[in-house]
DNA sequence: CTCCCTTGCGCC
DNA sequence: AAAGGGCGCAAGGGAG
């Protein structure tokens, strides 16, 4: 893992397009709808050297990558995924893949005190270069004033070039500063470097996008329209309209004032204190036992939501982009725990541009996921970190039973199902495998318990999850008994909770097993105390999962380059790739081997006491993936 | 009208 | 007193 990051070469693009918004959409470069207006790169070997200039060409980039190759430099760029994406769009895919990248914006995040529980956490801090300059070099704040990215006049271009050069200079200086700071904490620095290896792959995914199957998406849209129309027709005579079902306020009036149903739950506004009568799906699930119309109403609302989000949305983005593709943009370190997030739009409010769709929220059904298909000549391959959070909790808590259940041939959900049903585990496991229906239901309950109770969920909440999400008619006494069973089965888990909270109170920060950190600052005795405790407990597990995925990508790098494998997208415990059909089998075999032998000890200083296996699925459309075991 | 906040809900 | 966490997006509703 060790690799010198020096020397550094900083770079920055300015861009424009036939519409100003295209400046942020490098995939339009190929059609001539977007282009770079300036590109500067800079290094400091005692003297500051500066190259590049206005209207860069392929020759400019060739000289840049030649310099990088000859000096063995690491490229630094603010929001480096964007710079790398432009390089790829301009034809330098191989060069981007085979160079090291580092993003001072991400390094800044690693150094930040976040989350802060005294502040309003709904207001997320921005990590723009201008803010970093204002913080570190206040005398230079406001250097971006009077810049026009799109005015081609010589006077405006002169201002633009000066701005571009300052951007690069500040990027270089901030990178040097943040690297020095992070290196004081070697494990954090190492985690940040491993994460940075994902930059070229994420850039590729963002600039390549993914094909949307037009017919499948239209069919989905039509199906959901029919579902909604049918429900609407059924309920029209009872006063339900689309406007009402889409409005929580209007729906509450209908349900509680006109239909006379009981109010089962109220919402209290966190800021305003306003009280409203809830119409959420938990409430609807319970009301459905009292009134047969409610199940249809819930189906109606779901069909409308799903149509907009998962059919109309992707189709709109396909039309907007004009090339049959959708471009949800991956954001490295998008969550404070390190996981990636996705954005489906650029701009705000009336300037919103629908470039992508809500990839991370895509429903699990085949009909939904099949709208995304492999590009010609490629197969979609998913590697999924099996039982990821259960395994990391087993390791973090050192619970002997959980660790035992991570061994080959074991089934944690059957184990918990058996405990709940007062049955013997092996007998239960055999019954489940032979298709016994009681064992099937029991395992489902065990699964709900294993998945829900790992993070201090209450019996009350467990009851709701079981009822609403799994349609299991659980009542509170039984839910309490299951929770007790869980805690008695995995004695190490509540001990881990308490220890993790104590340690975090003492240190003021939590770390993942890889060494990624987050500060936990606030009043432990105040109203945020519970939430701070949850961060102490959850961050270590969830963040380790994120680090595991970055480690996987870093270690797969050489194989991906060799076989021409492309990173497609991330779904937290799953990584998706486009693999050329011609090398599908050997590439998967090699990738699987690497994933099963990730160098946790060298990278993190950890020797996992249990196996950390990955499952593999392959197919031509997202909804149609099949388990793949090799041959 | 725009902008911001709230409710509700999809995934992990 | 009781309380899983993390996100982003759709849509309504209200302020200005």
| pLDDT tens-digit series, residues A364-383 | 999 999 999 999 999 999 99
Element (H, E) at A578: strand A574-580
**Chain Cα centroid distance, residue A512:** 17
Q: Is the CB of A286 under 7 A from strand B?
A: no
List the one residue out of A348, A347, A306, A346 whose CA is nearest residue A326.
A346
Q: Is the CB of A122 under 7 A from strand C?
A: no
Query: What span, in angstroms and rounded, lies between the C-alpha atoms of A208 and A30?
Result: 11
Nucleotide nearest to A571 (CA to C1'): B12
CA of A530 and C1' of C3: distance in angstroms?
7
Q: Is the CB of A189 under 7 A from strand C?
A: no
Q: What is the pLDDT of residues A472-520, one digit of tens each?
A: 999 999 999 999 999 999 999 999 999 999 999 999 999 999 999 999 9
DSSP codes of every residue in A58-71: HHHHHHHHHHHHHH
Least confident of A1-5, A176-180, A542-546, A588-592: A1-5
Q: Is the CB of A574 under 7 A from strand B?
A: yes
Q: Is the CB of A273 under 7 A from strand B?
A: no
Q: Is the CB of A313 under 7 A from strand C?
A: yes
Burial A303-329 (b: 16+ CB within 10 A, else e): bbebbebbbbbbbbbbeebeeebbbbb
Q: Is the CB of A366 under 7 A from strand B?
A: no
CA of A247 and C1' of C13: distance in angstroms?
9
Q: Cβ distance A13 to A38 under 8 Å?
A: yes
pLDDT at A287 exceeding the cut of 80: yes
Q: Is the CB of A184 under 7 A from strand B?
A: no
CA of A301 and C1' of C12: distance in angstroms?
14
CA of A274 and C1' of C12: distance in angstroms?
16
pLDDT at A1 exceeding the cut of 50: no
Q: Is the CB of A234 under 7 A from strand B?
A: no
pLDDT value for A119: 65
A212 forms beta bridges with A372
Q: Is the CB of A279 under 7 A from strand C?
A: no
Least confident of A131-145, A219-233, A373-387, A397-411: A131-145
Q: Is the CB of A461 under 7 A from strand B?
A: no
CA of A269 and C1' of B5: distance in angstroms?
10
Peptide bond into A115 cis (omega under 30): yes
pLDDT at A122 exceeding the cut of 70: no
CA of A354 and C1' of C8: distance in angstroms?
14
pLDDT bin (cut points 50, 70, 90) of residue A594 is: very high
| Helices and strands counted in chain A (H then E) | 26, 18
Q: Is the CB of A455 under 7 A from strand C?
A: yes
pLDDT at A121 exceeding the cut of 70: no
CA of A141 and C1' of C16: distance in angstroms?
31
CA of A568 and C1' of C9: distance in angstroms?
21
Q: Is the CB of A211 under 7 A from strand C?
A: no
CA of A299 and C1' of C14: distance in angstroms?
29
Q: What is the pLDDT of residues A155-166, one digit of tens each?
A: 999 999 999 999
Q: Give one word for A575, left, alpha or beta, with left for phi > 0 and alpha for psi -120 to 50.
A: beta
- Residue whose tokens read 């405990």: A419
- In a 3-state reduction of DSSP, which class is residue A469? helix
* Protein-contacted positions of strand C (CB under 7 Å): 1-14
Least confident of A107-111, A115-119, A296-300, A502-506: A115-119
Token digits for A17? 């397009």
Q: Is the CB of A456 under 7 A from strand C?
A: yes
pLDDT value for A51: 98
- In a 3-state reduction of DSSP, which class is residue A53? strand
Nucleotide nearest to A385 (CA to C1'): B12
pLDDT bin (cut points 50, 70, 90) of residue A93 is: very high
Q: Which of residues 299-318 of A touch strand B (CB under 7 A)?
A: 301-302, 305-306, 309
Mean of per-residue pLDDT scores for chain A: 95
Least confident of A117-126, A215-224, A349-358: A117-126
Least confident of A109-113, A427-431, A461-465: A109-113
Q: Cβ distance A394 to A608 under 8 Å?
A: no
pLDDT value for A157: 97
Q: Which of residues 11-70 of A touch strand C (CB under 7 A)?
A: none
Residues in chain A, overall count: 631
Q: Is the CB of A574 under 7 A from strand C?
A: no
CA of A512 and C1' of B7: distance in angstroms?
33
* Protein-contacted positions of strand B (CB under 7 Å): 1-12
Q: Is the CB of A327 under 7 A from strand C?
A: no
pLDDT bin (cut points 50, 70, 90) of residue A197 is: very high
Q: Is the CB of A545 under 7 A from strand C?
A: no
Query: What span, in angstroms and rounded, lies between the C-alpha atoms of A278 and A57?
Result: 58
CA of A275 and C1' of B6: distance in angstroms?
11
Nucleotide nearest to A250 (CA to C1'): C12
CA of A7 and C1' of C5: distance in angstroms?
40
pLDDT value for A125: 78
pLDDT bin (cut points 50, 70, 90) of residue A337 is: very high
Q: Which of residues 334-393 of A touch strand C (CB under 7 A)?
A: 334-337, 339, 341-345, 356, 358, 360-361
CA of A516 and C1' of C9: distance in angstroms?
29
- In a 3-state reduction of DSSP, which class is residue A86? helix
pLDDT bin (cut points 50, 70, 90) of residue A112 is: confident
Q: Cβ distance A514 to A612 under 8 Å?
A: no
- In a 3-state reduction of DSSP, which class is residue A564? coil
Alpha-helical regions (H) of A237-385: 242-246, 248-252, 281-287, 293-307, 313-321, 366-369
Average pLDDT for residues A36-58, to the nearest whole number?
97
Query: What span, in angstroms and rounded, lies between the C-alpha atoms of A441 and A466?
Result: 12
Q: Which of residues 515-554 of A touch strand B (CB under 7 A)?
A: none
Average pLDDT for residues A92-99, to the nearest whole number?
97
pLDDT at A413 exceeding the cut of 80: yes
Q: How distant, in Å, are the alpha carbons of A46, A302, A463, A475 from that of A295?
A: 72, 11, 19, 20
pLDDT value for A518: 94
Query: What span, in angstroms and rounded, lies between the C-alpha atoms of A118 and A131?
Result: 21
**What percentage of chain A reaches a pLDDT higher than 90?**
92
Least confident of A36-50, A136-150, A182-196, A251-265: A136-150
CA of A568 and C1' of C16: distance in angstroms?
44
pLDDT value for A527: 87
Question: A475 Cβ partners below 8 Å, 6+ apart?
Answer: A463
Peptide bond into A7 cis (omega under 30): yes
Average pLDDT for residues A349-361, to the nearest whole number?
89
Q: Is the CB of A130 under 7 A from strand C?
A: no
pLDDT at A585 exceeding the cut of 70: yes
pLDDT value for A3: 63
Question: Which residue places its CA closest to the C1' of nucleotide C12?
Answer: A247
Element (H, E) at A432: helix A425-433
């Amino acid at each position: 893992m060790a690799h010198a990051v020096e020397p550094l070469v900083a770079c920055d693009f300015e861009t424009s397009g036939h519409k100003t918004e295209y400046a942020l959409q490098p995939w339009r470069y190929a059609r001539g709808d977007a282009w770079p207006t300036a590109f500067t790169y800079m290094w400091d070997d005692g003297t500051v050297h500066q190259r590049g200039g206005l209207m860069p060409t392929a020759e400019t980039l060739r000289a840049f990558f030649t310099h990088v190759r000859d000096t063995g430099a690491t490229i630094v760029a603010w929001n480096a995924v964007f710079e790398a994406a432009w390089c790829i769009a301009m034809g330098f895919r191989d060069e981007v893949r085979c160079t090291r990248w580092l993003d001072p914006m991400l390094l800044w995040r690693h150094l930040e005190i976040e989350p802060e529980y005294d502040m309003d956490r709904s207001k997320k801090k921005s990590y723009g270069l201008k803010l970093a300059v204002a913080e570190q070099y206040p005398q230079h704040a406001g250097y971006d004033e009077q810049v026009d990215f799109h005015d081609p006049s010589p006077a405006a271009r002169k201002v633009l070039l000066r701005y571009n050069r300052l951007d690069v200079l500040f990027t270089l200086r901030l990178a040097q500063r943040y690297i020095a700071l992070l290196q004081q904490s070697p494990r954090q620095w190492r985690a940040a470097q491993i994460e940075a290896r994902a930059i070229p792959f994420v850039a590729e995914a963002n600039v390549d996008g993914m094909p949307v199957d037009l017919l499948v998406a239209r069919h989905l849209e039509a199906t959901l329209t029919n579902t909604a129309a049918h429900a609407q027709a059924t309920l029209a005579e009872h006063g339900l309209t689309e406007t009402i079902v889409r409005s929580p306020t209007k729906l509450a009036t209908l349900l509680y004032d006109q239909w006379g149903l009981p109010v089962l739950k109220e919402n209290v506004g966190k800021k305003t204190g306003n009280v409203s009568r809830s119409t959420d799906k938990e409430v609807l699930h319970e009301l459905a036992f009292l009134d047969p119309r409610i199940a249809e109403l819930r189906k109606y609302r779901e069909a409308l939501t799903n149509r907009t989000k998962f059919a109309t949305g992707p189709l709109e983005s396909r039309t907007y982009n004009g090339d049959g593709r959708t471009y949800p943009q991956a954001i490295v370190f998008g969550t404070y725990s390190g996981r990636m997030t996705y954005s489906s739009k650029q701009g705000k409010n009336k300037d919103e541009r629908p470039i992508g769709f809500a990839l991370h929220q895509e429903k699990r059904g085949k009909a939904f996921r099949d709208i995304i298909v492999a590009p010609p000549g490629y197969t979609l391959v998913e590697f999924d970190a099996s039982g990821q959070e259960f395994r990391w909790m087993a390791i973090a808590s050192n619970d002997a039973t959980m660790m035992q259940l991570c061994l080959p041939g074991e089934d944690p959900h059957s184990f918990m199902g058996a405990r709940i049903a007062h049955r013997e585990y092996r007998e239960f496991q055999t019954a489940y495998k032979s298709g016994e229906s009681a064992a099937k239901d029991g395992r489902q309950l065990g699964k709900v318990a294993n998945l829900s109770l790992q993070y201090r969920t209450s019996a009350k909440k467990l009851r709701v999850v079981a009822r609403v999400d799994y349609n299991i008619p659980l009542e509170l006494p039984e839910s309490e008994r299951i929770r007790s069973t869980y805690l008695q089965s995995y004695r190490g888990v509540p001990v881990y909770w308490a220890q993790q909270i104590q340690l975090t109170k003492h240190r003021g920060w939590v770390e993942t097993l890889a060494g990624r950190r987050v500060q936990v600052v606030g009043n432990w005795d105040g109203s945020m105390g519970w939430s701070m405790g949850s961060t102490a407990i959850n961050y270590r597990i969830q963040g380790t999962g994120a680090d595991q995925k970055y480690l996987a990508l870093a270690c797969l790098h050489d194989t991906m380059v060799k076989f021409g494998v492309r990173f497609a997208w991330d779904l937290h415990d799953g990584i998706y790739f486009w693999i050329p059909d011609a090398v599908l089998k050997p590439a998967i075999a090699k990738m699987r081997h690497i994933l099963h032998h990730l160098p946790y000890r060298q990278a993190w200083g950890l020797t996992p006491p249990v196996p950390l296996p990955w499952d593999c699925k392959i197919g031509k459309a997202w909804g149609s993936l099949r388990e793949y075991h090799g041959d």
